[in-house]
Amino acid sequence: MKVDRHGAATVLTAAQLDALLGAAPSARYRALWAIQRWTAGRIGECLALTWGDLNGLVTFRKANTKTKTTRQVPTAPRLEAELAVYRAAWETEHGHPPARDEALFPAKGSTHTPMSRQAADKALRATCDALGLAGVSTHSFRRSFATGALKRGIDLPTIQKVTGHKNLGSLGHYLEVDEAEVMEAILGA
């Protein structure tokens, strides 16, 4: 668990992720966290998205990914619904439909400059504090996606394709396994 920004980010259950989205301070943060939840996107990748990066796929452009490779993740139905609600809120806030080159999550007073990581982190921390969730960081979404997919029986290469990890070794750091699962593996051998 992450303590004072040290250690691994907490893995959240589906119910905790639902609660987090439900408690989001605005449509902007709800959409940001939904993208992170259903694409395993890193915070920097998500903040760099433009409206043109959404077209049935969420396209993380190579210039904005840690691995410097473009990654595309299909838009889950629940994410599509979240983005539709957010688009309406974005249009109301900015007074016009978003152009392809406008930031999906712009900083206040802009439509082209992305929100800062600090602003995103501050909102997440405040919401988690209100919900009593400890050890959560923006990386919790990636760890939760990877661990949840593994527990649902999704194979590692498929999880790796979504998360964008270059090798399975680096993906392994994201996966949380509890003692009961370790015992089940031992007893089943």
Q: What angle do CA 24, 140, 115 make, to 5 degrees?
A: 55
Q: What is the widest separation between alpha-carbon atoms in the chain?
A: 61
E strands present in the chain: 57-60, 71-74
Please write the tens of the pLDDT for every residue from 93-141.
999 999 999 999 999 999 999 999 999 999 999 999 999 999 999 989 9
Q: Cα–Cα distance between 38 and 2 in angstroms, integer?
A: 22
As a whole number of angstroms, the distance between CA 75 and CA 168 comes to: 24
> What string of pLDDT tens digits covers the 189 residues of the chain?
444 444 578 989 999 999 999 999 999 999 999 999 999 899 999 999 999 999 999 999 988 878 788 888 999 999 999 999 999 999 999 999 999 999 999 999 999 999 999 999 999 999 999 999 999 999 899 888 888 888 888 777 777 777 876 765 565 555 565 556 544 554 554
Residue labelled with tokens 């915070």: 43
